[in-house]
Structure 1
Amino acid sequence: MKEQFVKPTERGQVTIPKEMREKLQINQNTRLRIYVDGNKVVLEPVSPLDLVFKELEVEARAKGFTRQELDEEITAVRERLMKELYGEGQ
């Protein structure tokens, strides 16, 4: 994909070129992570699972869960989900 140049608006907004939005399947509902890497501004599409994980991380920290408690809870939830999706034998 060919590089393109964009110019920020007065408010600092930029438009992601259509070709790039289509390639990355970015639409008005897509959440993007933005950060600085050296002298670059990086935008990355974020999956819904990433957002859920971040919310859970914040809640777990607020409630004071230890790493071991989180690992145990994740294991239990994963087992319940597998049983619900694929039955008892999985």
Structure 2
Amino acid sequence: MEDFPVGLIAAGALLQYLYETQKTSLSHFLRIYTRTLRINICSFDSSTRRNLSELTETLREKQKRGSLLWVLDKTKTAMGARTLRTYIERKFQSI
């Protein structure tokens, strides 16, 4: 955890929260492990991006319905939908 000082603080806060809300011993928590998340982002040239332009809206009507985003969007909140849209747009960003 030496490389993740903020993670250590967050883990301590979580354990404190559990202790206060669960009103039970936390002795079954023996270790904290760290995991790093690796995200790969694809980059495409402008021609490829143009051919993939229906990622977030249709070419003809400029609507979400019928786009890849529309197919994938099973989010429950507006914030979730915006996050998904941003992720798709970043995932397929231009070079």
Task: Sort the TM-score into its range (normalised by shorter chain).
Answer: under 0.3
Higher RCO (CA < 8 A, seq sep 6+): 2
The structure carrying a bigger strand percent of its residues is 1
Larger Rg: 2
Please, what TM-score do these two structures have when normalized by structure 2? 0.27
